[in-house]
Amino acid sequence: MNSSVQKLHHVAQKPSSKIIGLMSGTSLDGLDIALCEISGNGRETTVSLEEFITKSYDEHTKRYLQKIVSVPEVSLKNVCLQHSWLGDLHGELVLEVLDEWGVNPTEIDCIASHGQTIYHAPKLQHGQADMPNATLQIGDGDHIAQKTGIITLSDFRQKHTACGGQGAPMAALVDQILYAHNNEERILLNIGGIANFTYLPAPSNTHQKTATIDTGPGNTLIDTAVNKYFNKPFDTDGEIAQQGSVQSEALQALLTDPYFQQPLPKTTGPEQFNLSWINKKLDQKGIDNLAPKDLIATLTQLTIKTISESIQKVISKNSPPTLYISGGGLHNPVLMNGLAEQLPNCQIKNFASIGCNPDAKEAVVFAVLANETLSGDGFMIDPDSSEKITFGKISFPD
Ligand SMILES: Nc1ncnc2c1ncn2[C@@H]1O[C@H](COP(=O)(O)OP(=O)(O)OP(=O)(O)O)[C@@H](O)[C@H]1O
Ligand SMILES: CC(=O)N[C@H]1[C@@H]2OC[C@@H](O2)[C@@H](O)[C@@H]1O[C@H](C)C(=O)O
């Protein structure tokens, strides 16, 4: 037997594995690196987050990625170069943090790498009837495996679209096995660049089904406008939004986007929600005189409104869920207070109270997806079929 296949066979049979989850999200703030100890599989899965860090991208890296991320027409040469370059970079960052943590790479059973989404094109967004749901992530897995000497699973979203899904959100698959609770209705809300949630009704609630959705912009519009008008990467602690006031006419103009009324399932990205989208929506209503701080307050309110309205649509009025929040938006008090105001019946908690470090959640998701591919049966993505599927492509270091 080939030695890497033998290693894989061994890892798949271990009662517990050390898996590193890697996530480079839509905000382009850096690479989230989560070292997990994972035992069991399916509903028996348990995860212990042993270490976590976000390795921030420097300005040069961020600007280089911005050349192609979510841009519809780019240099194919850049895409080709960046696919390999980012794989190498992610491999180097893994080696760097393992050294910082005092962990030998030989102790790691595998890496689960999400990569960087450079274009997300569900049918709803690309609008070409003859084309399938499509999504593209870069940061090649072979490069990560070569750099680190560690078996690497990557490119998790392709199987989702190949099986008829929209390529996202995928966190719900993991949320269901790790966080569904017998007596509590739960919403797991992640506010990253894009906001998404998983609704986990308590099993006793036979009227409601598990649901998942990208609600629309999380931080992406706030970040992009703060960057343009204040030359900062994001609105630290919501300070700018607090100085501005929400302009209701502008808010209504933004809320007219049909995405917000589309039924589930739906997913989106910065390809749709970006600076030109803001300008177009405001131009259509003849609004051209918003003070920058009022724009930030209005965009923050847009995130609050679209998240809370999406939540209201799926939950049962009689048994309001507890909301567990993760992602960078958790650090913005204006977002948090706004959600509490709009969802007075829901208890709001930090995801840490049932899971792990809220900034690590998505990286852990990909570690669990890899664990299931190696040692489990997989996940059901079609509620009308019992067929289970696994995700990720396997790269060997040799
Ligand atoms: N102290 C803070 N105050 C306000 N906002 C913050 C703060 N810290 C982080 N954020 C926001 O969180 C964002 C990063 O969030 P996160 O890392 O969850 O996003 P992501 O994983 O890149 O996105 P996605 O989940 O959509 O892929 C930052 O760009 C910023 O907008
Ligand atoms: C295409 C893509 O990378 N989508 C991300 C992004 O970040 C949040 C939201 O948009 C979600 O749809 C998804 O990530 C999480 C991990 C998911 O698939 O559940």
Domain ranges for the chain, please list them: 3-167+359-395, 171-353
Q: Choose one of 33, 234, 350, 359 to mutate for the ligand 1 pocket test, by most ligand atoms within 8 angstroms of C-beta.
A: 234
DSSP-H helix ranges across the chain: 3-13, 59-66, 76-101, 123-126, 141-148, 157-162, 171-179, 220-230, 239-243, 248-255, 275-284, 292-314, 333-342, 361-375
- Residue range 101-121: average pLDDT? 98
The torsion of the CA quartet 81, 87, 93, 96, rounded to 10 degrees, works out to: -110
Give residue 239 CA to ligand 2 midpoint distance, Å.
26
Which CATH number does 3-167+359-395 carry? Answer: 3.30.420.40
32 is in an annotated binding site: yes
The pair of three-digit structure tokens given for residue 39, joined into one six-digit string:
């035992």
Residue 234 is given by DSSP the state S
What confidence category does residue 30 fall into, taking pLDDT thresholds of 50, 70 and 90?
A: very high
pLDDT in the model for residue 206:
78
Bridge partners (DSSP) listed for residue 129 = none
Q: What is the pLDDT of residue 382?
A: 83
- Look at strands 16-24 and 322-326 and give their pairing: unpaired
What is the predicted pLDDT for the residue at 303?
98
- Output phi, psi for 197, to 5 deg: -145, 160
Is 300 annotated to bind a ligand? Reply is no
CATH topology of domain 171-353: Nucleotidyltransferase; domain 5 (3.30.420)
Phi, psi of 381 (to 5 degrees): -105, -15
Lowest mean pLDDT among 104-113, 174-183, 204-213: 204-213
pLDDT at 384: 80
Residue 323 has pLDDT above 80, yes or no: yes
Question: What are the angstrom distances between the C-alpha of 11 and each of 141, 151, 167, 378?
Answer: 18, 10, 27, 16
Q: 211: phi > 0 → left, psi -120 to 50 → alpha, else beta; which?
A: beta
Residue 270 CB less than 6 A away from ligand 2: no
Structure confidence at residue 207 as a pLDDT band (50, 70, 90): confident
Ligand 1 centroid, distance to 129 Cα (angstroms): 34
Segment 218-273, tens digit of pLDDT: 999 999 999 999 999 999 999 999 999 999 999 999 999 999 999 999 999 999 99
Residue 317 has pLDDT above 90, yes or no: no
Domains 3-167+359-395 and 171-353 share a fold: yes
